[in-house]
Amino acid sequence: MAKKLAEEILKKLEASGYEAYFVGGCVRDWLLNRPVHDIDICTNAHPGDVMRLFPAHVPTGLKHGTVSVKSGGMLFEVTTYRTEGKYEDYRRPSEVSFVSELRLDLMRRDFTMNAMAMDLRGKLEDPFAGLDDLKQGWIRAVGVPAERFREDALRILRAARFAAQLQFQIEPDTLRAMEETASLLIHIAIERVREELHKIIDSPAPAVGVALLCQTAALKSWPLLDRLFSAGIPHAPRLPRLAELTQKWSLLLYGSGFGAEEARQVCQVLKLSKREKETICAFVECLTELRPHWDQPREIDWRSLLLQRGWAFCQKLDGILQACWHNSAAASDVTRSLRETYEQMQVKSIQELAISGRELSVLLDKKPGQWIQHILQHLWQQTAFHRLPNTPEALLEEARKEVVRYEH
């Protein structure tokens, strides 16, 4: 669907006398039969020409020659062939110059597999033998590798990420250049570094990416991250067994010997969101507390964990334990114990209580406020494992007592 819509843009550009190609990652992924997420287009038409031809557009990056063109409700980036001047911050060029030759545009790209273009008829423009590298499973920088990494140091992490996603090898000269220029990553915003690390640990072969980060000392500018990934090599193969990034980070941290406090420091270095940080630290804290019970997994106090953290959290924690104990008897025991404990609960969530927050407010003649959540949480903990009947009368009586304790 998206490709068909993008083809309409190429057709109109060609019909108007311009060259137009699909370019970069979309071409690579089509050739690899992988899902394509973003379709980029390059052309010798200047931004003004593109905007004239396509009234439905967004001038997203005119300075760099990019116009986002709307086709069938989707936006596609259309960029003029260009060369780039000196990079001023190891990330962005200080200036760009529009050119008329496709080859000059492809020369500025990071890796040969991303320096290919394809026209409407499927003809491939491949001046740097990117297709050969794809077939052989090589990640090779375009031109002089060290120059590519000095232009944009983030490419060092991108190389490791592509290796993990595609299960490719880094071409030797490119690998040496990554090692030589790794110190330049200090100039890259940690948010951009974080996104590449996310993609590495979320890839099909994170162990490949983690090993490359260590081999190239890519994270040496962040000692805590460097130590984490160095110690995390043995645990990286387990990461694909987990669904969520917070679980993956937690396994990597715990497996590397990091406690909750160091986990918090890592989250701060990465500038993770408050929710991500709290979730990861809670997982690491629980894993650390559970460590003495690993030889006797049925001794894990799931009752307390369910009351403190809830069912969803405990399921995800169990997932991390499953990844640690993959296919072992202990893994089966842990899951069985959790499910048995959960089934014993007469009230599995606050929503199942026989009285609501609104009813408490009316029956206790109190204005709504933070007290309601406190009382509901208390009532749930009392009823979950049958300490208190889940009836409106019993809950209201207990609520009256707890309100007094809460207010004093």
Residue 165 confidence (pLDDT): 97
| Mean pLDDT of the residues in the chain | 92
Residue 218 confidence (pLDDT): 97
Residue 163 and residue 131 in one domain: no
In a domain, 227, yes or no: no
Q: What is the pLDDT of residues 113-139, one digit of tens each?
A: 999 999 999 999 999 999 999 999 999
Neighbours of 66 (CB within 10 A): 21
Using CB atoms within 10 Å of the CB of residue 286, give its burial: 0 to 12 exposed, 13 to 18 middle, 19+ buried: buried
Residue 268 confidence (pLDDT): 97
Looking at residues 11-30, what average pLDDT do you find? Answer: 97
Residue 198 and residue 95 in one domain: no
Residue 366 · residue 396 · CB < 8 Å: no
Among the candidates 206, 221, 236, a domain finishes at: 221
Amino acid in position 167: Q
Residue 26 · residue 40 · CB < 8 Å: yes
Among the ranges given (146-155, 204-213, 308-317, 334-343), the one the predictor scored with the smallest mean pLDDT: 334-343
Confidence label for 266 from pLDDT (cuts 50, 70 and 90): very high
Residue 104 · residue 81 · CB < 8 Å: yes
In a domain, 324, yes or no: no
Give the Cα separation of 306 and 342 in Å (integer).
8
The torsion defined by the Cα of 400, 404, 406 and 408, in degrees rounded to 10, comes to 180
Q: Are strands 117-118 and 124-125 parallel, antiparallel or unpaired?
A: antiparallel
DSSP character at residue 292? G
Give the Cα separation of 339 and 303 in Å (integer).
11
In a domain, 344, yes or no: no
Residue 127 and residue 201 in one domain: no
Confidence label for 297 from pLDDT (cuts 50, 70 and 90): low
Q: Is the overall model pTM greater than 0.85, yes or no? A: yes
Adjacent-strand bridge partners of 58: 68
pLDDT over 70 at 294, yes or no: no
In a domain, 246, yes or no: no
Listed in sequence order, the DSSP H helices in 94-240 are 102-107, 130-136, 145-151, 154-166, 172-181, 190-201, 206-215, 223-231
Listed in sequence order, the DSSP H helices in 182-297 are 190-201, 206-215, 223-231, 245-255, 260-270, 274-290
CATH number assigned to the domain comprising residue 160: 1.10.110.30
pLDDT over 80 at 295, yes or no: no
In a domain, 38, yes or no: yes
Ramachandran angles phi, psi of 219, nearest 5° = -105, 15
Residue 20 and residue 47 in one domain: yes
Residue 327 confidence (pLDDT): 63
Give the Cα separation of 249 and 283 in Å (integer).
10
The per-residue b/e assignment along 160-178, b for 16 or more CB within 10 angstroms, e otherwise, is bbbbbbbebbbbeebbebb
Residue 174 and residue 69 in one domain: no
Residue 3 and residue 111 in one domain: yes
Residue 404 confidence (pLDDT): 82
CA angle, 262 as apex, 301 and 316 as ends, to 5°? 40
Q: What is the pLDDT of residues 34-73, one digit of tens each?
A: 999 899 999 999 999 999 999 999 988 888 899 999 998 8
Amino acid in position 53: L
Distances in Å between the Cα of 11 and the Cα atoms of 15, 21, 78, 87, 294 are 6, 10, 13, 34, 63
Looking at residues 275-299, what average pLDDT do you find? Answer: 85
Residue 34 and residue 18 in one domain: yes
CATH number assigned to the domain comprising residue 29: 3.30.460.10
Element (H, E) at 25: helix 25-31
The residue written with tokens 């990861």 in the block is: 280
Residue 166 and residue 102 in one domain: no
Domain that holds residue 210: 137-221
Give the Cα separation of 335 and 163 in Å (integer).
34
Crossing angle for the helix pair 260-270 and 190-201, to the nearest 10 degrees: 120
- Short-list 407, 332, 329, 344, CA closest to 371: 407
Residue 165 and residue 196 in one domain: yes
Give the Cα separation of 290 and 262 in Å (integer).
18
pLDDT over 90 at 226, yes or no: yes
pLDDT over 80 at 326, yes or no: no
Give the Cα separation of 60 and 396 in Å (integer).
59
Residue 104 and residue 154 in one domain: no
In a domain, 83, yes or no: yes
pLDDT over 90 at 337, yes or no: no
Give the Cα separation of 203 and 43 in Å (integer).
32
Residue 193 and residue 96 in one domain: no
Crossing angle for the helix pair 302-309 and 329-343, to the nearest 10 degrees: 60
Residue 10 confidence (pLDDT): 97
Looking at residues 369-383, what average pLDDT do you find? Answer: 89
Q: Is 335 helix (H, G, I), strand (E, B) or coil?
A: helix
Among the candidates 80, 109, 136, a domain finishes at: 136
In a domain, 65, yes or no: yes
Residue 333 confidence (pLDDT): 80
Crossing angle for the helix pair 274-290 and 311-324, to the nearest 10 degrees: 60
In a domain, 201, yes or no: yes
Q: What is the pLDDT of residues 174-197, one digit of tens each?
A: 999 999 999 999 999 999 999 999
Among the candidates 136, 167, 188, a domain finishes at: 136
Radius of gyration of the chain (CA): 28
Domain count along the chain? 3
Q: Is 148 helix (H, G, I), strand (E, B) or coil?
A: helix
Residue 141 and residue 98 in one domain: no
